[in-house]
Structure 1
């Protein structure tokens, strides 16, 4: 690149439109657009500085070396990769596409997953949290709308109780309103003082452990059915040469967490029933004929009704909290003749929630610290403020240092608290209202990984840039900042990204239409 572009210094005092004109008037404007293409569309790209070297993969000889000072703006732009749509719509769009592929390949095969998985029994389970207190809700007894996304059906009254009276805090224990879908009262407790905020954040925090034990209970139930029906164990040889006898069925899952309006998470889980190949334990084979989708559905109901977790003692609650699933456990069959749900509908549904977090509650939080917590936590505040306060209060240090106040012990206090206090992580995840898990997880055998999809995309981009397979690019880079230099740069880069994305979409539609015409003509 030529030197004048690297000397570009935007005037931040100018308006956005003038910034656009100044950037577009530079002779190397189109080179700048091409340079920022990998991060174009990103709301807050990462700017890196350092050296980029092209190395021969066979000999290790450096073919060329480039410093970022020679590039436009003197930096390398990289997309932030944030999965949350509220933070970066473009990166979330990419993540959502990857999530769609991860979930779909586990149902229909592809990208290294055999197509035979499409014949395996699969159920779609929705597991919810229990009640922590009465909240405003919208319930439609019978839907007559064309689509749930734009439901205009008349709901039933919220809490129609003629004899409910008031709670011990003087708040009405009934609500006769028929809430609209966008009513801000939805998910809010009828009485903030009656609501058990501590239990809810603890449930969010330990919900991952509850799911882990539930998954184990589902597999144990199926293994017991195999023994009862005379289906023998399978002999497998591990990589170390040891012989193991394992149950002939196993369950692979893909799970998405969704934050409800009351700020409690619930899980949407795809559970696929697989068999075990004695010659190749990693192969995906159908389950034995004696185990059906009915057994998988029964196993889910049995496990969710029996499995609970009792948390460790806490100074505020020595007996701990009971963590269990709520009464609303919905299990439906998919991927089979006469199934209640279709593959495409479930996959799109799960991929949509993979880019969400706490937005449904009406708030978007960054990680909270001791310096910022006072602006969000309030034991006498609204519903979210009390939940955050519960996270911060329950996650407080409970280990008292009695070693004479030595500096070393003081520096290690945080580590001691984390080891002795099972709730210490609540402070780390206070911005997520206690939930510290990833919003999309899967079993190892369920489907393709995000890493493989990203690597495939990287190889494709290298092929587009005419990079040869016998060379690799090695960067020695350091972080210098985040975000576009000006609002004008952001507008130009994002507009170019949208145009390229729309062009690709139109191209795909034209190719699909041409393929359809060819097939119709044949």
Structure 2
């Protein structure tokens, strides 16, 4: 009954108290808890109805069948699977764990990835967006703290100037404040009218193409080095049966997009050097002896300086926009003995950002429509309102006049994406400030897939009970989402939190026993 202790915390609504107490007083309360265990920590679980069939795994023979009407709440609960921590912390926690394994396996091997990849050269690169106008920022020239998570170092002035002037719109062009880490001004422009909101949202929209070309440029740079150093190409047979000569080195990557406070994305990328096996294109082999991590480092910097993308013409800008990386391109080497950059820390860092979205900017909404856009977009509003307005305005149908920012009568949001307009995605992803890419992507050869991890987890759960001689096959249909009452949500989420805490303590105890045994 420890779950009921959570009901006595101050501040709980009386209605939720009553609902929870009513549920807890039912005769089958613990049966209900067990029934909801699979989705207990989910904020808005999916409710499914239908039939559940018991089948013998070896023969496929149907042993029994029952309907969900016989179950508690007459439904089956399934976790929503949302990756965003702001939407569902429990499902995001599971996703972060999978993301950690995806990233870590590409560095150290495991889960069908050869352990030999741990010896491959790897760099951790950060690609940032360029400046679209000065914004309030917090910069610490030199850290003297011992723990960055509890950093108490004094930051430098935001935008110190010898001569304090004003911009063309009369706003101060300097800021001498030393901003705190939680200062709401961080990421906001010094002058909203000087800031190029249009260019930023277009940069977000086309940053994926910029990365694709950058990756190609890195591989071309390494291929040229191979020719100069006398490392011959490799002759391989493709899946279609054709014989081709390919460079002897290739780059596999894992990439996470992070939204900055100003609303521009930047990319954290792990780049691993692999060789090519002429007999097996899918094998992970080390790169040729003549290519080192120094060459990969140089290739990243060279590609970041050279590659630009010019967007297609737009009615508001016939020459298009130039899309390029910012001046800050940071490249660090993994596995070189530097204690600050280890594979575990990098994997945890990327997994953390894989569950985030636009929360750091202060904006968090679902996809915007013509009915909801007015609540968020304002050409004369604050920084976020102007970014969203720029997305909606630039993403209009190409035949719409510049002055008309509204959606034409009778045109649905889905119709705007089917007219050959390369900027139509700005409206579709206006709630993401123009960025429509995945927040965690990887090369096919880099590591395992999320699907493999989910399938492995499902297989483990099916075989967890050695005494079970049947498996359950469901024929289910969606009937709704969310818990039936706030009291049910409180009880289920509290039970899940307690289960996670017990699991965490158990892992710590096992780790302590293992360490104690080794020390002894």
TM-score by length of 2: 0.93
Equivalent residues of 2:396, 2:416 under 8 A apart = no
Q: Which residue number in structure 2 is paired with residue 26 of structure 1? A: 26
In structure 1, what is the equivalent of residue 93 of structure 2? 93
* Correspondence for 1:212: 212
Q: Which moved more, 1:410-419 or 1:150-159?
A: 410-419
- Other-structure match for 1:495: 494
Answer yes or no: is 1:362 the counterpart of 2:346: no
Q: How far apart are the structure 1 equivalents of 2:467 and 2:200?
A: 52
Query: Which runs of structure 2 are paired with 1:73-152 in the superposition (5 Å)?
Result: 73-152=73-152
CA distance in 1, matches of 2:77, 2:340: 46
Deviating more after overlay: 153-162 vs 339-348: 339-348
Q: Aligned with 2:80: secondary structure?
A: coil
**Cα offset, 1:229, TM superposition:** 0.5
**1:259-278 matches, cutoff 5 A:** 259-278=259-278
> Which secondary structure does the structure 2 equivalent of 1:478 belong to?
strand
Comparing 503-512 with 438-447, which one deviates more in the overlay?
A: 503-512
Match of residue 326 from structure 1? 326
* SS at structure 1 position matched to 2:168: coil
Give the direction of change, closer, same or farther, for the CA distance of 1:380–1:467 in structure 2 (3 Å limit).
Answer: farther
1:231-242 correspondence runs (5 A) = 231-242=231-242
Contact 1:119 1:336 in 2 (8 A): no
Q: Which residue of 2 aligns with 1:176?
A: 176
Residues in 2 aligned to 1:62 and 1:457: alpha-carbon distance in whole angstroms: 24
User: CA distance change for structure 1 residues 412 and 426 in 2, over 3 Å: closer, same or farther?
Assistant: closer
The Cα RMSD (Å) is: 1.9
Structure 2 unaligned spans of 5+: 1-12, 401-409
The 2-side partners of 1:473 and 1:423 are apart by 46
Distance 2:14 2:166 in 1: 59
What is residue 388 of structure 1 aligned with on the other side?
388
Q: Which residue of 2 aligns with 1:5?
A: none
Distance 2:411 2:164 in 1: 54
Q: Name the count of aligned residue pairs.
A: 500
CA distance in 1: counterparts of 2:196 and 2:259, whole angstroms: 17
Q: Deviations over 1:75-127 (max 9, x none)?
A: 00000111111111111110111111111111011111111111100000000
1:416 Cα deviation after fit = 7.1
Q: Does 1:456 align with 2:466?
A: no
CA–CA separation in structure 2 for the residues paired with 1:363 and 1:510: 40
Residue 341 of structure 1: how far off its partner (Å) = 1.5
Alpha-carbon shift at residue 149 of structure 1 (Å): 2.0
Instruction: Give the secondary structure class of the aligned counterpart of 1:15.
Output: helix
- SS of 1:282's equivalent in the other structure is coil
Tell me, yes or no, if the aligned pair for 1:113 and 1:447 is still in contact at 8 Å: yes
Distance in structure 2 (CA, Å) of the matches to 1:40 and 1:411:
41
Which whole-Å CA distance do the structure 2 matches of 1:393 and 1:96 have between them?
A: 35
Shift of 1:338: 4.9
* Comparing 164-173 and 298-307, the one that deviates more: 164-173
Task: Check the 8 A contact 1:218/1:300 in 2, yes or no.
Answer: yes
1:129-164 C-alpha deviation (Å, 9 max, x unpaired): 000001001111111112222221111111111324
Compute the displacement of 1:208 (Å): 0.4
| Aligned residue number for residue 474 of structure 1 | 473
| Equivalent-residue separation in structure 1 for 2:391 and 2:467 (angstroms) | 50
> Contact (CA 8 Å) 1:40, 1:497: kept in 2 or not?
yes
Shift of 1:366: 1.1
Inter-CA distance 465–368: structure 2 relative to 1 (3 Å threshold): farther
Match of 1:406 in 2: none
2:313: which partner in 1?
Answer: 313
Q: Give the TM-score taking structure 1 as reference length.
A: 0.92
